[in-house]
Amino acid sequence: MTRLSFSVGFAALLACAIAQAAELPESIRQAGVLRLTVNSTYAPMEYRDPETNELVGLDIDLANEIAKRLGVKIVWSETPFAELIPSLQTRRADFIISGISDRGSRRETADFVDYLATGPQFFVLTENAAKSAIDLCGKRVGTTRSTSFPIEIEKWSRQNCEAGSRPAAQYVPGENSIDVRNQLKQGRIDAAVQGSETLPYAQQQEAGKYRVVGEPFSTGYQGIMFRKDDAALREVVTQHLAAMIADGSYKAILDKYGLSANAVPQPMMNAATQ
Amino acid sequence: MREADTLAGGFPDISGMTLAHQAHWRRWLAAAAILVVLVAIGRAFANGQIEWAYVGRFLTAKVILEGIVNTMVMAVLAMALGIVLGVVVAIMRLSPNPVLKSVAAGYTWLFRGTPLILQLLLWFNIALVFPTIGIPGLWSARAVDVMTPFLSALLGLGINQGAYTSEVMRAGMLSVDAGQYEAAQAIGMGRLHALRRIILPQAMRVVIPPLGNEFIGMVKATSLASVIQYPEVLHNAENIYYANSRVIELLIVAGFWYLLVVSILTPSQMLLERRFARGSLQIAR
Amino acid sequence: MTRPLVAIRSVSKNFGEFQALKRVSLDVRAGEVLCLIGASGSGKTTLLRCINQLTSIDSGGIWLDGELLGLREEGGRLHRLTPQRIARQRLKTGMVFQRFNLFPHKTALENITEGPVQVQGRKREDAQAEAMELLRRVGLAAKADAYPAQLSGGQQQRVAIARSLAMKPMLMLFDEPTSALDPELVGEVLTVMKELARSGMTMMVVTHELGFAREVADRVVYMDHGAIVESGPAADVLGAPREVRTQSFLSAVI
């Protein structure tokens, strides 16, 4: 074997390897479908349109665009929030794009491709007296208990209330974001915390009812969740997401939902610091 | 007469033969097959994607134990409320007074006709309709302060249970012989007096098995109160797995405690049945 | 003539289309033993149940010891009494049922003391002492702590009689008291009833036991299809009945 033919052969092999990295796993390509599951109670990320009962949302749009570029269809299913991660582990879903936060505790069995900046945000009823976040020390603050926000509130309270000799903020659990807003309306809680990505929609739905207090008090990311052993799929999705950011289709989708402020410059892997 | 004394021939005397022991080999075979299936299921669970270390770690965690105590407290209180309501409504239903009869029928229709989870959510969120509750002129309070998860769960579970219990009690009272009521009347008892001293005690015999059943159902129905933030065992188990993502492991922990409680309750029901079978020859075994 | 203890005047009762009682009138004097005989459906049991108001009458009136039962007159119209008043009126009568109807969850003694203690408010010790005396009278002192399920039919009926007597009624009603008993147990119940009659209790007995009627009854009343056909001294009605229907009934049962 001559040195030339060896180099050509090696280059060809390398080209194949690279090309392989940017392709869909065989099983998905064969089936022609991506199986995805969402917790469709989280407007505007994924929810059922009250008029048409169609599954809509920012995550739905992003996923549809990615699937189009991959040349496959999506078969959607719905589960409660707590079932999302098990769905990934049991391979019921190929990946999870469902408003799920990138967190260290979740990275034991999964990798995140972060695609949206987010952070817990205080909000109150418009007529509430609170002007800045510090006014919420000693008050009852509610949030969805299945999220990472209860811990965020506790941390914020320790750093901002108790550190300044103010009474701690009291965490009150809620079942989902609607339940939390209900408790706010009834006066069971004085303030609520939701991901900053959900607030423009909530304010649009009930104009003038809520008022945001301060800035998101912690930054994090929403990530697309992949199984640790699924690097190929993760790579190909990341590539297409990067392309969408580059050609403006990502921004267009975010604008549609009023979330251009939450854009990320490029997809990041496991970038959240918690 | 002497002819009748002579017995016909052809029938041997087998009174001296012993009865052979029955092998029941089919039963042994079935038992063995079932055992094989159970072992297979057990092994599947043992080798499945379950981290049993987490099950062990949280089995007696403080919040889980508190949770099961809250479950039992709520089950007992809500069942008590359900029984009181059930007796009252059943008596109303059997009353000659058409107003009482209609109210009882309406209550049963409404609370059996809507899902329990819906009732719990309505009680908990009642402040959306009635921001303040109270007696005009005497006392008023914010509905959210009164309708705590505990009270909402108690009312939701208890009032719902009452609708079902009233039917069980009504059946129990109807099962008592009509002559008992007449005998009570004959010695001068009024209707309520006769119900309390004569009819209800006898109805208890018939009513205990279905009520025991309902109570076991109630123990598990308390898990619905998790959505209105009552800290029973499922709610607390959920909080743990929301934090550490070990869903199946924590559900197994909660399931273990429910199973334990029900296993203790079942023989207790037997004892209660015996107590109310006083005076009867038909004691359940 | 002294006022009768029970005065029944033109009493009618319908069950839907069926006429159970057709304008029945009857007097019962204090201390009298009256036996009601007739076929099933003749109205004899219905009449008895109207006297202690287990069944309400449609028209007519029944007076017990001079008091109109179940109704009061006011402004020329009749008004029904309240259930509480009716319950109090029932205290004057005692009823013994065909199927005994003892309270199965109470002992014999408790069955007897239930009325006096719970309804008449007497002290438990007094009621128990009286109950024991009644049990002795009916020959069952040894069975005070037995439950009905442990007693024979005849024993249960005797306890039932004691239970009614404990309320100190002025009139005892017996609705076929021996019909549900095995033949060998009938005698012990009839013995108790005879002793009761001898002691001067006013008794109305619906029965098929013509021997008892002949021996103990002062009067026998034969009813058929909701009306009284014949009534008179036991010897006359049973021995030499005037009416054809009475004759055919008696010849059928003897």
DSSP symbols for chain C: -PPPSEEEEEEEEEETTEEEEEEEEEEE-TT-EEEEE--TTSSHHHHHHHHTTSS--SEEEEEETTEESSEEEETTEEEEPPHHHHHHHHTTEEEE-TT----TTS-HHHHHHHIIIIIS---HHHHHHHHHHHHHHTT-GGGTT--GGGS-HHHHHHHHHHHHHTT--SEEEEESTTTTS-HHHHHHHHHHHHHHHHTT-EEEEE-S-HHHHHHH-SEEEEEETTEEEEEEEHIIIIIS--SHHHHHHHHHH-
A82 closest CB neighbour out of B128, B229, B247: B247
Q: Which residues in chain C come in under a pLDDT of 50?
A: none
Question: What pLDDT is stored for residue B279 in this prediction?
Answer: 59
CB C10 within 8 A of CB C59: yes
Nearest residue of chain A to residue B242 (CA atoms): A146
Q: How confident is the model at residue A7 (pLDDT cuts 50, 70, 90)?
A: low
State whether residue A229 sits within 8 Å of chain B by CB: no
Q: How confident is the model at residue A18 (pLDDT cuts 50, 70, 90)?
A: very low
Amino acid at B91: I
C and A touch with 3+ CB pairs <8 Å, answer no
Residue at token pair 């017990």: C64
* Confidence (pLDDT) at B6: 84
CA C11 to chain CA centroid, Å, is 17
Q: Are B203 and B173 in contact (CB under 8 A)?
A: yes
Strand partners, C59: C12
What pLDDT is stored for residue A11 in this prediction? 54
Instruction: Answer yes or no: is pLDDT of B280 > 90.
Output: no
User: pLDDT tens, A188-245?
Assistant: 999 999 988 888 888 888 888 999 998 888 888 999 999 998 889 999 999 999 999 9
Q: Does C141 touch chain B (CB under 8 A)?
A: no
Instruction: Give the number of residues written for chain C.
Output: 254
Interface residue ranges in chain B relative to chain A, Cβ cutoff 8 Å: 49, 125, 127-128, 131, 142-144, 227-229, 238-239, 241-245, 247-248
CA-wise closest residue to B181 among C62, A259, A45, C90: C90
Q: Determine the pLDDT at residue A173.
A: 96
Q: Give B173-199 pLDDT, tens digit per residue.
A: 999 999 999 999 999 999 999 999 999
Q: Give the C-alpha separation, C240 to C163, whole Å.
A: 37
Q: How confident is the model at residue A21 (pLDDT cuts 50, 70, 90)?
A: very low
**A109: nearest CA partner in chain B:** B245
Which tens digit of pLDDT belongs to each residue from B114-139?
999 999 999 999 999 998 888 888 88
Question: What SS3 class is residue A156?
Answer: helix
pLDDT value of position A206: 87
Min Cα–Cα distance to chain A from B211, Å: 32
The encoded tokens of residue A165 equal: 């000799």
- Determine the residue among B117, B224, B245 to mutate to test chain A binding: the one whose Cβ has the most chain A Cβ atoms within 10 Å: B245
Helix axis angle, B62-93 to B98-112, nearest 10°: 150
Q: Does the distance separating the beta carbons of B182 and C119 come in below 8 Å?
A: no
Yes or no, beta carbons of B243 and A173 under 8 Å apart: no
Could you tell me which residue, B112 or B135, shows the higher pLDDT?
B112
Say whether A86 and B247 touch across the interface (CB within 8 A). yes
By Cβ distance, the residue of C90, C102, C120 closest to B185 is C90
Task: Give, in order, the Cα–Cα distances in Å from C68 to each of A173, C85, C213.
Answer: 70, 12, 29
Strand order in the sheet with C59-64: C18-28, C6-15, C59-64, C67-68
pLDDT of residue B245: 77
How far is the alpha carbon of B234 from chain A, nearest alpha carbon, in Å?
A: 13
Task: Identify residues of B whose CB sits under 8 angstroms from chain C CBs.
Answer: 177, 179-180, 182-191, 193, 197-198, 201-202, 278-281
CA dist C247 and C240 (Å) reads: 8
Per-residue confidence (pLDDT) for residue A235, from 0 to 100: 92
- For the stretch A91-119, pLDDT in tens is 899 999 998 988 888 888 899 999 999 98
Q: Say which range, A265-269, B67-71, C149-153, has the weakest mean pLDDT.
A: A265-269
pLDDT for residue A19 is more than 50: no
Percentage of chain A surpassing pLDDT 70? 92
pLDDT of residue A20: 44
What's the confidence (pLDDT) of residue B283?
A: 46
What mean pLDDT value characterizes chain B?
91
The Cα of B175 is separated from the nearest Cα of chain C by a number of Å equal to 14
Task: Identify the closest residue of chain B to A178 by CA–CA distance.
Answer: B125
What are the structure tokens assigned to A145, written together?
A: 């208990």
A103: helix, strand or coil: coil
**Mean pLDDT, to the nearest integer, of B202-218?**
91
Q: What is the pLDDT of residues B215-248, one digit of tens each?
A: 999 999 999 999 999 999 999 999 998 888 788 8
Backbone angles phi, psi at B281, to 5 degrees: -85, -15
Quickly state the pLDDT bin for B170 (edges 50, 70, 90).
very high
Residues of chain B with C-beta less than 8 angstroms from the C-beta of A79: none
- Taking a C-beta distance cutoff of 8 angstroms, is the pair A193, A122 a contact? yes
Contact A82 B241 (CB under 8 A): yes
- From the CA of B196, how many Å to the nearest CA of chain C? 11
The whole-number pLDDT of residue A217 equals 86
Q: Give the three-class secondary structure for A123.
A: strand
User: Element (H or E) spanning A110, and its range?
Assistant: strand A110-118
Answer yes or no: are the C-beta atoms of C10 and C23 closer than 8 Å.
yes
